[in-house]
């Protein structure tokens, strides 16, 4: 009888440990919590959300996030001119939408770049489509990307170049240890086609 009781106790303890291990490996948490506390790909936790629409866009220098943006990933903390992508937070930077979008959209992005990635191409992924952003200048530049036929697109991702160097290794007088690429100033998602003569796969205008 004692042996049976011991085995029952052991089986209960094993079940508890297995359940605990499963909870650790598959935590039931929000995407924002997971990005900030578990995956460490976001520098935002529980940001204030203010009224706004995709067409009105987001100013990355402004505190908080507009209602249409659920969360960010791969972006460093906010500065006076915007937010840098930071490969230390992951090789993908972008925003997750509060609600998925469908159809045709013009992505209107204003950004500057570190000089050592000028001339490179950064794939921009939204839903089931990818467009190429050709980095044209280290100065503040406006880019427009045309997306058509989007289906349940719930985030916009910038696929950063591999093995970006820390700033201080390129500019020894700068102590910045981040692996930055683009400084995002503003982003808008405008329904429909990009303006005639202005749309491109990433060519600056």
41-89 pLDDT tens trace: 566 666 789 999 999 999 999 999 999 999 999 999 999 999 999 999 9
Per-residue confidence (pLDDT) for residue 108, from 0 to 100: 98
Per-residue confidence (pLDDT) for residue 13, from 0 to 100: 65
**Model's pTM, two decimal places?**
0.79
Q: For residues 205 and 188, give the distance between their C-alpha atoms in angstroms, rounded to a whole number.
A: 16
CB 91 within 8 A of CB 180: no
Name the nearest CA neighbour of 112 among 169, 188, 186.
186
Is 203 a residue whose pLDDT tops 50?
no
Q: Over the chain, what is the mean pLDDT?
A: 86
Q: For residues 71 and 42, give the distance between their C-alpha atoms in angstroms, rounded to a whole number.
A: 8
Per-residue confidence (pLDDT) for residue 179, from 0 to 100: 96
Cβ partners under 8 Å of residue 197, min gap 6? none
Over pLDDT 90: what percentage of the chain? Answer: 70
CB 127 within 8 A of CB 151: yes
Over pLDDT 70: what percentage of the chain? Answer: 74
Superfamily of domain 41-191: Galactose-binding domain-like (2.60.120.260)
Per-residue confidence (pLDDT) for residue 186, from 0 to 100: 98
Is 142 a residue whose pLDDT tops 80?
yes
CB 173 within 8 A of CB 47: no
pLDDT band for 134, please (50, 70, 90 cuts).
very high
């Amino acid at each position: 009888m004692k042996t049976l009781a011991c085995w029952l106790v052991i089986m209960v303890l094993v079940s508890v440990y297995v359940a605990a291990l499963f909870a650790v490996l598959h935590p039931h948490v929000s995407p924002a919590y997971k990005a900030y506390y578990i995956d460490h790909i976001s520098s935002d936790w529980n940001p204030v959300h203010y009224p706004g629409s995709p067409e009105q866009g987001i100013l990355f220098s402004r505190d908080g996030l507009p209602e249409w943006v659920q969360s960010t990933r791969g972006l460093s903390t906010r500065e006076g001119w915007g937010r840098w992508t930071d490969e230390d937070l992951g090789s993908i930077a972008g925003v997750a939408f509060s609600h998925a979008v469908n159809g045709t959209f013009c992505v209107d992005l204003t950004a500057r770049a570190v000089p050592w990635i000028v001339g490179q191409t950064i794939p921009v992924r939204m839903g089931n489509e990818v467009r190429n952003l050709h980095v044209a200048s280290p100065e503040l530049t406006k880019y427009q990307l045309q997306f058509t036929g989007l289906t349940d697109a719930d985030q916009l991702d910038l696929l950063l170049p591999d093995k970006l160097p820390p700033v201080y290794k390129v500019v020894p007088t700068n102590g910045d240890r981040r692996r930055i690429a683009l400084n995002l100033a503003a982003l808008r998602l405008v329904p429909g086609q990009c303006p005639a003569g202005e749309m491109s796969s990433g060519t600056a205008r």
